[in-house]
Copies of this chain bind each other. A is one copy, B any other.
Amino acid sequence: MAVLLGRRSPIAGWAKRAMPTAAQFLHENPNEMTLLEMLGSTNLRKSSPEDYRVLRDIVNTFERYSGVGNDIQLTLAEHSANELIMGEKKREYEKGIMDPSKFAPGHHIFQVLHTVKKSPLFQMLRKMPKGAALKTHDTSMCSSRAVIEMTYRENLWVCTTHKGCRVEEFRFAAEKPKDMRHKDGEWQPMEKLRELRGEENLRKYLRVRLSMYPLSSFRTNAHAWDHMMGIFTLLDGLLQYAPLWGDYYYRALEEFYADGVQYLEVRTVVPQLYCLDGSRLPQRETVQIYLDTLERFKKEHPGFIDSKLIYAPLRHVQPEVVGQYVKQCTELNKEFPDFVVGFDLVGQEDKGHPLSKFAEELLKLPEHIDFYFHAGQTNWYGSHVDQNLLDAIVLGTKRISHGYTITKHPLLMRLAKYLNIALEVCPVSNQVLQLGSDYRNHPAATLIAANVPMVISSGNPAFWRAAPLSHDFYMAFLGIAPMNADLKFLKRTAKNSIRYSSLSDEAKAEAMEKWKKEWDEWVEKIVDPKENVSEEENK
Q: Using a CB–CB distance below 8 Å, which chain A residues touch chain B?
A: 32, 35-36, 39-40, 43-49, 52-53, 55-56, 59-60, 62-63, 66, 93, 96-97, 99-101, 106, 219-222, 350, 356, 359-360, 363, 367, 371, 379-383, 385-386, 390-391, 393-396, 407-412, 414-415, 418-419, 435-438, 440-441, 443, 445-446, 449-450, 480-485
Q: Which of B367, B379, B449, B480 contacts A409, CB < 8 Å?
A: B449
Q: Are B56 and A381 interface neighbours, CB within 8 A?
A: no
Please name 15 pairs of A and B residues whose Cβ atoms are closer than 8 Å in the assembled complex, sorted by A: A35-B411, A36-B418, A39-B419, A43-B367, A44-B395, A45-B395, A47-B363, A47-B394, A52-B395, A56-B390, A59-B394, A101-B219, A379-B441, A380-B483, A381-B483
Contacting pair B383 A36 (CB below 8 A): no
Q: A66-B411, A484-B382, A485-B382 are in contact. Are A367 and B219 (CB under 8 A)?
A: no
A385 to chain B: closest CB distance in Å?
A: 8
Contact check, B49 vs A379: say whether CB atoms are below 8 A apart. Answer: no
Q: In the assembly, what is the distance between CA of A468 and CA of B108, in Å?
A: 33
Quick one: copies of this chain in the complex?
Answer: 2
When chains A and B are docked, how far (Å) is the Cα of A483 from the Cα of B381? 6
Contact A52 B350 (CB under 8 A): no
In the complex, the 6 A-B pairs of residues with the closest C-beta atoms, listed nearest first: A382-B482, A44-B396, A382-B483, A100-B220, A379-B440, A45-B396
Would you give the shortest CB distance from A280 to chain B, in whole angstroms?
33
Q: Which residue of chain B has the shortest Cβ distance to A105 in the bound complex?
A: B379
Q: Which residue of B lies closest to A54 (CB)?
A: B394
> Which residues of B lie under 8 Å from residue A44 when comparing CB positions?
394-396
- CB contacts (< 8 Å) of A440 on chain B: these are 379-381
| Dominant secondary structure of chain A at its interface with chain B | helix
Distance of A328 from chain B, by nearest CB (Å): 19
Closest Cβ of chain B: how far from A159's Cβ, in Å? Answer: 31
A295 CB, nearest partner CB in chain B, Å: 30
A40's nearest neighbour on chain B, judged by CB, is B418
* Complex contacts, A359 vs chain B, CB 8 Å: 49, 52-53
Bound CA span A47–B483, Å? 43
Q: Are B49 and A363 in contact (CB under 8 A)?
A: yes
**B99 pairs with A220, CB closer than 8 A:** yes
Q: A396 CA to B46 CA in the complex, in Å? A: 9
Least CB distance, A233 to chain B, in whole angstroms: 22
Contact A446 B410 (CB under 8 A): yes
A97 & B367 in contact (Cβ 8 Å cutoff): no
Task: Give Cα distance in the complex from A169 to B283, angstroms.
Answer: 75
